[in-house]
Amino acid sequence: MAKPVFRFIITGMFFVMFFSGCSSPKYKIEKIYHPPPDKACVDRCQKEFQKCQDTCQRNYNECLLKAPERAQKIYDQLEREYTQKLQEYYKQYRIYQNQLREREKTIERLKRDLKFYERLCAQYKDKEACYRKKNIKKALERLKYNTPVAPQKPEEISFKEILDKERALCRCDCGCKEIFDACYQACGGKVEIKRICVEDCDKD
């Protein structure tokens, strides 16, 4: 992530400020500053602005520096939870496999019984055999749609993803420009703002 950039172009009674955040900007904010009579007051605003920027950058760098340590603590905790979930998954998966085997055995048994009762029903018109044949067909049809559901395997923990998230929490925009504008206006100056799209603009 890039350091916030502020460029001041001073022309006569106004200057323009461009800024970008931690990534490539999508908007350019053009500010026209009408200075107050008290230049010393504006100088104090600029000093406070620079102090804010320096503190912000220092905190941002420190945040990035400590990101791996924070990520490691989170990773260790999630890894312990993952190990427990994985053990439970294997337990449930063994149950699932047993259910599949039992289902296959039941289907094979019912198919054998079906052939037997179909033959009796066809040859001897035995009512009991025909009744059982009908019930077995229904049972096979139910088993066709009633299959065991495999357990969901837990996702592996990615240290890189955790580290990226921790780094993304580090802020390099501390509102220093807003503080400067407030100070500038408190000095009696006036700030006009224009917002210009420079990237990913709406086509409408």
How far apart are alpha carbons 81 and 25 in whole angstroms? 39
- 94-149: per-residue pLDDT in tens? 999 999 999 999 999 999 999 999 999 999 888 999 999 999 999 999 998 899 99
* DSSP H/E element including 85: helix 39-124
Whether the per-residue pLDDT at 4 is higher than 70: the answer is: no
For the chain, first and last CA: distance in Å?
Answer: 31
pLDDT of residue 203: 57
Strand pairing of 5-11 and 27-34? unpaired
Question: Where exactly are the structural domains of the chain?
Answer: 5-197
Decide: helix, strand or coil at residue 40: helix
* DSSP H/E element including 9: strand 5-11
Give the pTM. 0.62
The residue behind tokens 């039992």 is 102
Selected residue with higher pLDDT from 107 and 2: 107
Q: Are 64 and 167 in contact (CB under 8 A)?
A: yes
Q: Are 198 and 27 in contact (CB under 8 A)?
A: yes
How far apart are alpha carbons 120 and 188 in whole angstroms? 106
Using only C-alpha atoms, the chain has a radius of gyration, in whole angstroms, of: 36
* Per-chain mean pLDDT for the chain: 86
Q: For the purposes of burial, counting CB atoms within 10 Å of the CB of 54, is it exposed (0-12), middle (13-18) or buried (19 or more)?
A: exposed
